[in-house]
Amino acid sequence: MLTRSLLALLLLSTALTAQTAQPESGVDLSAIDKSVDPCQNFYLYACGTWLKNNPIPPQYSRWGRFSELANRNQEVLHQILEDAAKNQQRSPLDQKLGAFYSACMNEAAIDKAGDTPIQPGLEKIKDIADKKALASEVARLHDQGVSAFFTFSQSPDFENSRVTIARADQGGLGLPDKSYYEGTKDEATRQHYLDHVTHMFQLIGVAEPEARKQAAAIMAIETALAQASISRVARRNPKLTNHKLTLTEWEALTPDFDFAAYLKDRHAPTFEKLNVAVPDFFKALDGIIQKTSLDDLKSYLTWHYVSTYSTDLSKPFVDEDFDFYSRYLTGAKELQPRWKRCTQAADRNLGDALGQKYVAIAFAGQSKEKTQELVNIIEKKMAADIDALPWMGEATKQQALLKLKGVTNKIGYPEKWKSYASVDISSTHFVADVKNTRSYEIHRNLAKIGQPVDRQEFNMTPPTVNAYYSPLENNINFPAGILQPPFYHSTADMAVNFGGIGAVIGHELTHGFDDQGRQYDADGNLRDWWSKQDDEEFRKRADCIVNEYSKFSPVEGANVDGRLTLGENGADNAGIRLAYMALLGGLDNGSISSAKLDGYTPQQRFFLGFAQIWCENDRPEGLRNSVRTDPHSPDQFRVLGVMQNIPEFATAFGCSVGQPMVSANACRVW
């Protein structure tokens, strides 16, 4: 996944085209800072003036080129929702969208209601009679998307990926990562969290001394859950989260939690086996339930229930949630406007309904075919690259080529839209709308247990500015929302487009062969198809990237975690190589001009096209959080790390050994 920017393609509405007009070559000349030597810092050369002219708006913790595109997409969604709210008689789809958006935008009514919408749920938690009754209440909360103790959902079976299996996993934390509960360096953050929980309890009527007492109890429970959880880096190894157990074996891990009652109240399909991702977590959960008083367990459930709905309640709840999770943890200064928050809520909760309208307005019909053509080009280059690898044996190469051949592509939007006909949505009760839409989606997914996997389904909504690779399905997925400038320019030469979209396509394909993806076969099953020697050669080359990126520091006192970001860094490095191969092919056949445009050779335009999709300003608070939780490196290092490792860049810009953009020991896996 390329999360902070991704693929870009050939669609544009007239309005978007006008907003993103580019120079002839497609290079954004206004972004370049020519006072910087490209061989010293290519990121600042390509993006320096853009960075100076685009300070972070107060509502955001970061602002980059993909943020600009997301904002433009939001404007389109905003207009769709405004029209639906004003003309609710046009179609059932418009009625659903209009009612949801109207309820969200009625801030006066939401503020007047205060915490009334969640009071019935709070009473149910208070009424828990004993620990045996915890299971039924946790089931009710999980049905609403409340993160309490653990998660129970579904996924393809790691060993038989065509079938959907039940999955239980660790969960239940309120801080961004288990590491925040450990060590002295996060004492200030833990204190802020305690204050935040205390303030939330005060908002539901708990006196300050009691609220602080309950916050301390919650911190103790979450600390124990964090200690029982495995790290984000460990979770990158799918073998560590694949433990198929019988239902009886799962129940035996946590005998003090009534899983039979839980599953009955979740209305989950019957099953004999499930994937218990982290068995030791469930063993520890039993001890936590045993040792913790019922009142403290109730406080914990209350906190997660209130926190889940806090952004949907009155202004005091919204402000308190923003103050900790956005202002303190990421550095954002102000709330986003109400219409943006309501547009995002509609996309989250009614994604396919809103997506249908978005696609009809903004997605050009020929874009799927044109996208597929570009994917085909990059796939051919990847096949040639695999075949030429000097470090991989022939038997492993054949398996890799089989896997590449098995990759399927989903572009734009799903073949079959979800129906929200059964979902009750009112224009006057926003919290109820959120609850109903969440419950619909959660139950829809639970019903998949035991069924064949629908590999045509998208796991992102059509307007999303993102893309992803699914290792269990061996497919690459490009929602319509990302398929437009700045990543692809219909009026620019293909040198820039290969640097943008080409590198992104290569990036997504490479995820099938990164430290995680390489452990799955052509059908998406977790299976070792590597020879021992080839496995060792891969790890040696991957360690080079780990060590290189671990030296990058985006903010004082914080370094990139090379292990956590290995998959994304490796995909960045391989993706640009594949795209460069495509560029050379275009130059050879004459489809790309070899002349200079705007003063740059096609090779220089290619690297500028890549670098300029990553122009971004970040707040230090957000960077400190992201290096611990985000598998992507900060954007500047997604450029600098790649340029150091690709000798074609040094040739294009005349860089010499010893300059920062030329690594003495360049890393390369693929």
Q: Could you list the mean pLDDT of each consecutive 10-residue stretch along the chain, which spans 670 residues? A: 42 36 74 98 98 98 95 96 87 94 98 98 98 98 98 98 98 98 96 98 98 98 98 98 98 98 97 98 98 98 98 98 98 98 98 95 76 91 97 98 96 94 96 98 98 96 91 94 78 88 94 98 98 98 98 97 98 98 96 93 97 97 98 98 98 97 95
**635, 616 in Cβ contact below 8 A?**
yes
Find, among 218, 238, 239, 240, the residue nearest to 229 by Cα.
240
Whether 523 sits among the annotated catalytic residues: the reply is no
Amino acid at 16: L
412, β-bridge pairs: 479
Specify the pairing of strand 616-618 against strand 475-479.
unpaired
Find, among 635, 642, 636, 633, the residue nearest to 662 by Cα.
642
338-349 helix and 92-105 helix, angle to the nearest 10 degrees? 140
State the catalytic residue, choosing from 508, 514, 561, 618.
508
Phi/psi of residue 337, each to 5°? Answer: -55, 155
Whether 115 sits among the annotated catalytic residues: the reply is no
469, β-bridge pairs: 476
Amino acid at 477: N
**310, 432 in Cβ contact below 8 A?**
no
Rounded alpha-carbon distances, angstroms, from residue 298 to 199, 281, 304, 504: 17, 20, 10, 47
Name residues whose C-beta falls within 8 Å of residue 17's C-beta, 6 or more positions apart in sequence: none
- How many angstroms separate the CA atoms of 41 and 45, rounded? 6
State the catalytic residue, choosing from 115, 572, 618, 635.
572
151, β-bridge pairs: 169
- How many angstroms separate the CA atoms of 473 and 458, rounded? 11
Specify the pairing of strand 468-470 against strand 408-412.
unpaired
**Omega before residue 486 within 30° of 0, cis:** yes
> What pLDDT is recorded for position 24?
66
CATH topology of domain 119-312: Neutral endopeptidase; domain 2 (1.10.1380)
Domain boundaries, the chain: 119-312
The number of CA neighbours under 13 Å toward the Cβ of 514 is 31
**439, 143 in Cβ contact below 8 A?**
yes
**250, 259 in Cβ contact below 8 A?**
yes
> What pLDDT is recorded for position 557?
93
- How many angstroms separate the CA atoms of 198 and 219, rounded? 11
